Amino acid sequence: MGIKNKKDFTQSDLAVFISYIKPHKKLFAIDMLLSALIAAIDLAFPYITRTAMNKFLPQRFYRAFFIVMGIVLAAYLLRAFFQYLITVIGHGYGTLVEADMRADVFAHMQRLSFSFFDRNRTGVLLGRVTNDLFEIVELAHHGPENILTCTLTIVGALVILLFINPRLTLVLIVLLPLTITYSLKQRLNMRNANREVKKKTGEINAAIESGISGIRTSKAFANEQVEEDKFAAANENFKQSKVGYYKAMGRFMGGMEAAIGLMQVAVITVGGGMLMNGTLDLVDLLTFTLYVSTFTTPVRKLTQFMEIYTQGTAGFSRFLEIMRTEPEIKDAPDAVELQEVQGRISYENVSFHYNDGTEVLKDVSVTIEPGRTLALVGSSGGGKTTMCHLLPRFYDVSEGAVKIDGVDVRKISQERLRKHIGIIQQDVFLFAGTILENIRYGRPDATDREVVNAALKAEIHDEIMAMPEGYHTFVGERGVVLSGGQKQRISIARVFLKEPPILILDEATSALDSVTERHIQESLDMLSRGRTCIVIAHRLSTIRNADQIAVIEKQRIAELGSREELLRKGGVYASLERAQEMKG
């Protein structure tokens, strides 16, 4: 699972940005060429007008004058066509850049460790993959194009004006640094304000995602108003951040308009004075005013572009923040690929704590022989699920080692390691597709017949065939149209299809009624046959046939042995069984 055309994200932000444009350099070059031609047409018009008024009209070369004006008109029609091409081609390659970035960030998130998703809410990540990247399209398109066009126009206009009248041009040259300084200062304020907007937008996305995915729970508790209040608070924070951003943008826009107006007034005032004392003629003053308009148009365009630039760079920096996040779980440089797995699992003096120092397991040691079953029982939060998560390397041990067939799992490539492990959890996740697609997820290259065979083993085939579209029935968001038992059987079919030598059952039946649980347990017993299994059990009746039972208490294994041994011992496990029998 790699990233296509892998980029080096240790480079500068600009270098990374350019690396995304490189694959589309032909479209980019066409866009830049058309932008340069538009700038050339804009620069040519005032100079041609000056020539016409200085030569053609005084000497009554009317025919030449109208021919030149016709050429100018044709040039502007051509300019309009160029602008059409820029819009189509520019946005086209911008969309390609966006698609490349979205593919890369999605692929990268697939490689990130569980701990990353523990720290980041789904709605926030969704905003980074959608909204932020959409704004980068505008930056990828308008950024280089506007910078080139505006630079050519401003520099070209200044060069031509220096040629016409150096003294009057100095007025613009003096005012230009002041405008640029003000622009840069306000751009920084806009960028900071926009980053805050991005943050609050992520919070709103998270509130929406939480409110929609939890709609059944909120309705069940009649807590719709609670959800509305939570969203209203996030919305208010977003509104305040947006107001702050628009204030910063208003200061920028207002200041730039004042600077443009000052340039125009200064040129007319100084030029009028020069006209009065005879050091400037009327045609040159008119040419100057035309060039000031040509000069100020790109300044206005840069002013409008600044919002796109601010939003795009903020989005790009958030994109880079994810891309520069390294997975905490990585393959070793000399990672091996287990081919034939016997299924001997050993936890050797294993301890685990989260990054914040919270200790979950301490000095745990246990061995499961191939084809045997270890059941984990104990109070919630004792570390049972964490023990299971350490085996496929969803997290890495803090101390000690977890081994399969004597090989430390940290020395096995993650892909091959997880190919050998099947996991069935209490909370079954089904993708919003068909039943066929969800079962085939266990082995994407499986044939339809193999999928059906897996469903037969999971005893869900008959129920699937009774559905309106059979295996092509859509399961809805997270399998909402299916019962809990049906979802669990589909997850079992998925693992039957995968045929892993090692199986983890994480309270796979605890959320089901006793009748459904009994049927599901039969499927699980069939699935477990001949496989090394780790079972987390809430109902102790489901693990009576386990080869070993480990009681996890206070981050340690308090008791370990067969059911008969633990009952004879009369310790924690015996107390748990008595308590459940009394409830039953």
Which are the contacts of 467, defined by CB distance < 8 A and separation ≥ 6? 435, 473
Which are the contacts of 498, defined by CB distance < 8 A and separation ≥ 6? 419, 422, 442, 443
Q: Rounded to 5 degrees, what angle do the CA atoms 532, 535, 541 make?
A: 120
Under 8 Å between Cβ of 452 and 471: yes
**13-323, superfamily in CATH?**
ABC transporter type 1, transmembrane domain (1.20.1560.10)
In this prediction, residue 510 carries a pLDDT of 57
Which residues is 375 bridged to in the sheet?
Answer: 535, 549
Q: Which residues of the chain have pLDDT under 50?
A: 1-4
Amino acid, single-letter form, for residue 176: L
Over residues 393-416, the pLDDT tens digits come to 988 999 999 999 999 999 998 888
DSSP-H helix ranges across 427-560: 435-440, 448-457, 461-465, 484-498, 514-528
Domain boundaries along the sequence of the chain: 13-323, 345-583
Which residues is 502 bridged to in the sheet?
Answer: 421, 532
Q: Are the folds of 13-323 and 345-583 the same?
A: no
Encoded tokens for 268:
């007319």
Over residues 359-389, the pLDDT tens digits come to 889 999 999 999 999 999 888 777 888 899 9
In this prediction, residue 13 carries a pLDDT of 83
The Cα-based distances of 102 to 73, 94, 108, 119, 323 in angstroms read 43, 12, 10, 21, 11
Q: What is the Cβ-side half-sphere exposure of residue 124, based on CA atoms within 13 angstroms?
A: 15
Q: Which fold has domain 345-583?
A: Rossmann fold (3.40.50)
Phi, psi values for residue 112, rounded to 5°: -70, 155
SS3 553: strand
Under 8 Å between Cβ of 214 and 480: no
SS (H, E, C) 50-102: HHHHHHHCCCCCHHHHHHHHHHHHHHHHHHHHHHHHHHHHHHHHHHHHHHHHH
Rounded-to-integer distance, Cα 64 and Cα 158, Å:
28
